[in-house]
Amino acid sequence: MRLGLVGYGAGGRLFHAPYIDAADGVDLVGVVTRSPERRAQLAADRPDVPIYDSLADLLAAGVDAVTITTPPQTRHDLVLEALAGGAHVVADKPFAPSAAAARELADAAKAAGLLLAVFHNRRWDTDVRTVRALIDSGRLGDLWRVESRFELDEPSTLDAGPTGGLLRDLGTHLVDQMMWLLGPVRSVYAELDEVDLPEGRTDAGFAISLVHASGVRSRVAAGKLNRHVEKSWRVYGSGGSYVSFGSDTQTQALLSGRRPADEGERWGYEAESRWGLLSTADGVERVPSERGAYQDYYSQFAAAVAGTATLPVTADEGAALLDVLDAARRSAAEGVVVPL
């Protein structure tokens, strides 16, 4: 699959390009960026990859698919332009400004007969993969409650203003992980921590309680301004509990200079010292980490384009996720539980 990347900021450079390199059946054949600084960085990182001034130029050069990883306010129109140009699309998160806008994009892809996938790559985190394997094993019995927390001490990376905020950033990932694990959501209650910034009032932290159609309850929380770092899971069921305090393994590896294409099957495992604990009537045991590999997203997307697999995350799933985030914002504003 000939893939073009639209955008080469932190997202394109760190969360897309290295995993495209490591994926099966994908060639990165061009990047769109107009920033002189990013063009220079791309030339240093990948001297053999052509640089284009616009999506139109990239499409004219010939691609099978594109990844749109530009700022959220530009993404909607670029997805439509790519579809109109005959390319399959991976849209970064947040997928759209609202669930209604997401369904407009999903309908456009269906009308064009093209594939539109949403980059909810954190379904391929080592910790959520470990939780999924443990739930599937049945050792926790009937599930009651699942909790996830992702705290970062990163004030400078908070996307400020009305199109930003942490709810649409980390909230996208944490809620999507719960929906992937536990299924559709039937009610939402949310609390937002908001700050006034030059760009406008911005949510800088959240706590969201979900009740799933299955009856299982989940809770997700995150923040970036509280000077605290924590990535944890707690899973409770009739057979026992599982608790883990992990790390953002793949991101930390990338920032240290490691690359998934170089490490192959060694990539994406949590350090043994951070393995979680399963507690049952039989005692307490450490649960080995499952592998986390964002490149598997792109391998599956390429296979879907070839007609041999399903999409890793569909536009309809992205819209359903945004239904929950839209409800969370209403819940926080009105102080009510919002049914779905």
- Which tens digits make up the pLDDT trace of 15-62? 999 999 999 999 999 999 999 999 999 999 999 999 999 999 999 999
**Assigned CATH for 125-292:** 3.30.360.10
Q: State which amino acid sits at residue 177.
A: Q
Residue 233 has pLDDT above 90, yes or no: yes
Which residues make beta-bridge pairs with 196? 201
The Cα 273–Cα 268 span in angstroms is 15
Angle, CA of 264, 269 and 272, to the nearest 5°:
140
Residue 97 has pLDDT above 90, yes or no: no
Whole-structure pTM value: 0.96
Mean pLDDT (the chain) is 96
Encoded tokens for 152:
């970062």
pLDDT at residue 313 in the model: 98
The Cα 160–Cα 198 span in angstroms is 8
Q: Encode burial over 164-200: b for 16+ CB neighbours within 10 A, e otherwise.
A: bbbbbbbbbbbbbbbbbbbeebebbbbebbeeeeeee
Encoded tokens for 25:
């059946």
pLDDT tens, position by position, 163-213:
889 999 999 999 999 999 999 999 999 999 999 999 999 999 999 999 999
Which residues make beta-bridge pairs with 57? none
- Euclidean distance between the first and the last CA atom of the chain, given in angstroms as a whole number: 38
Residue 161 has pLDDT above 90, yes or no: no
Q: 2-119+299-313 sits in which CATH class? A: alpha beta
Q: Look up residue 312 and give its DSSP letter.
A: S
Same fold, 2-119+299-313 and 125-292: no
pLDDT at residue 94 in the model: 86
Sequence spans of domains, the chain: 2-119+299-313, 125-292
pLDDT tens, position by position, 247-296:
999 999 999 999 999 999 999 999 999 999 999 999 999 999 999 999 99
